[in-house]
């Protein structure tokens, strides 16, 4: 089975992510970054499937679109056990919206060559839109089997459990398919020492837009179908009163609720 996992290099949420004043884009260079935590679940799913008894000769290729530093996301994925990496990087991609990102990913998937399964996380941890997996399915004409909290592949069919608000659904499709997984699905493995060493020798291809046959004019900031007009840092919340419970904490809590008309 050939599996492609789409991953993203994102600003570290604990390192004060911010926007560039010059063009209102996400600052991906001035802030520490890492492989998006939610993508680790997708990599783990891919590796588990590749290692399973019926899988035969399986390959897990990890794919990312991002600036040079995004190579770190590929590296971590290879250390976990992915077999090969593809990094699409091009200055013209800067400022792309989800629509353009999904276009680039779709073309890269086609160039990698018709995988049986494309896996993604449930959402990125920076933009947190959760739309790229659906856009990929739409662009590639593949069944969309998304937000899986349980996943199995057998006899050329993928089956998932998808937990919604009102109900849990079982969804099934014939491969090839686009699958996204939630953080409920597994426990991602830590790279072993052996895995870290082995990663250094694994092949990583770096592609530009022209390698994909994607016109630079159809991606990037100017081509985006949405525009950020302005951003403003929210002032930190003013901290109110904090009391220590000395036998009356609950009473004081209730008083606060009454004073603020919650009771």
Contacting another protein within 59-88 (CB under 8 A): none
Copy the structure tokens of residue 105: 């990913």
Q: How far is the CB of 87 from another protein (least distance, A)?
A: 24
231 sits near another protein (criterion: CB under 8 A):
yes
Of 131 and 204, the one with the shorter C-beta distance to another protein is 131
**Considering the complex, what minimum distance in angstroms separates the CB of residue 38 from another protein?**
7
Residues 69, 94, 110, 139: which binds another protein (CB under 8 A)?
A: 139
- Closer residue to another protein, CB minimum distance, 197 or 257: 257
Q: Is 144 in the site for another protein (CB under 8 A)?
A: yes
* Class of residue 153 by CB neighbours under 10 A (exposed 0-12, middle 13-18, buried 19+): buried
Distance of alpha carbon 101 from the chain centroid: 12
Give the whole-angstrom CA distance, residue 143 versus residue 103. Answer: 17
Contact between 97 and another protein (CB under 8 A)?
Answer: yes
- The answer to the question of residue 213 lying near another protein (CB under 8 A) is no
Which of 22, 164, 193, 200 is the binder for another protein (CB under 8 A)?
164
Query: For the stretch 77-105, what's the b/e string if a residue is b when 16 or more beta carbons lie within 10 angstroms of its beta carbon?
Result: bbbbbbbbbbbbbbebbebbbbbbbbbbb
Residue 22 in the binding site for another protein (CB under 8 A): no
Give kind and range of the element (H or E) at residue 98: helix 98-112
For another protein, how many residues bind (rule: CB under 8 A)? 84
Of the candidates 30, 114, 152, 184, which one interacts with another protein according to CB under 8 A? Answer: 184
Smallest separation (angstroms) from another protein to the CB of 239: 6
Q: How many CA atoms lie within 13 A of 66 on its CB side?
A: 26
Contact between 263 and another protein per CB under 8 A: yes
With binding defined as CB under 8 A, does residue 204 bind another protein?
A: no
Supply the minimum distance, in Å, between the C-beta of residue 181 and another protein: 11
User: Closer to another protein at the Cβ: 113 or 141?
Assistant: 141
CB of 135 closer than 8 Å to CB of 98: yes
Closest C-alpha to 250, from 238, 239, 258: 258
Q: Which of 4, 6, 98, 148 binds another protein (CB under 8 A)?
A: 98
Q: What angle do CA 73, 213, 33 make, to 5 degrees?
A: 15
Tell which one of 21, 56, 154, 232 touches another protein (CB under 8 A): 232
CA neighbours closer than 13 Å in the CB half-sphere of residue 254: 4
**Residue 165 contacts another protein per CB under 8 A:** yes
């Amino acid at each position: 089975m050939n599996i492609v996992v789409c991953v993203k290099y994102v600003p570290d949420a604990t390192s004060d992510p911010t926007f560039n004043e010059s063009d209102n884009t996400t600052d991906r260079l001035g802030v520490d970054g890492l492989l998006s935590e939610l993508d680790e679940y997708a990599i783990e799913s891919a590796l588990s499937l590749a290692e399973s008894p019926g899988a035969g000769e399986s390959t897990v290729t990890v794919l990312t679109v991002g600036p040079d530093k995004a190579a770190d996301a590929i590296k971590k994925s290879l250390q976990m056990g992915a077999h090969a990496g593809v990094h699409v990087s091009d200055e013209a991609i800067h400022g792309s919206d989800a629509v353009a990102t999904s276009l680039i990913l779709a073309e890269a998937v086609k160039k990698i060559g018709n995988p049986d399964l494309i896996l993604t996380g449930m959402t990125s941890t920076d933009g947190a839109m959760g739309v790229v997996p659906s856009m990929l399915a739409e662009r590639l004409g593949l069944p969309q089997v998304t937000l899986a909290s349980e996943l199995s592949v057998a006899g050329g069919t993928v089956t998932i459990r998808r937990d919604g608000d009102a109900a849990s659904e079982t969804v099934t499709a014939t491969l090839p398919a686009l699958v996204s997984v939630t953080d409920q699905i597994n426990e991602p493995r830590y790279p072993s020492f052996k895995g870290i060493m082995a990663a250094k020798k694994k092949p990583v291809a770096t592609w530009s837009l022209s390698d994909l046959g994607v016109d630079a004019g159809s991606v990037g900031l100017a081509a985006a179908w949405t525009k950020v007009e302005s951003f403003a840092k929210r002032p930190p919340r003013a901290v109110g009163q904090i009391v220590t419970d000395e036998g009356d904490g609950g009473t004081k809590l209730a008083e606060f609720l009454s004073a603020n008309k919650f009771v």
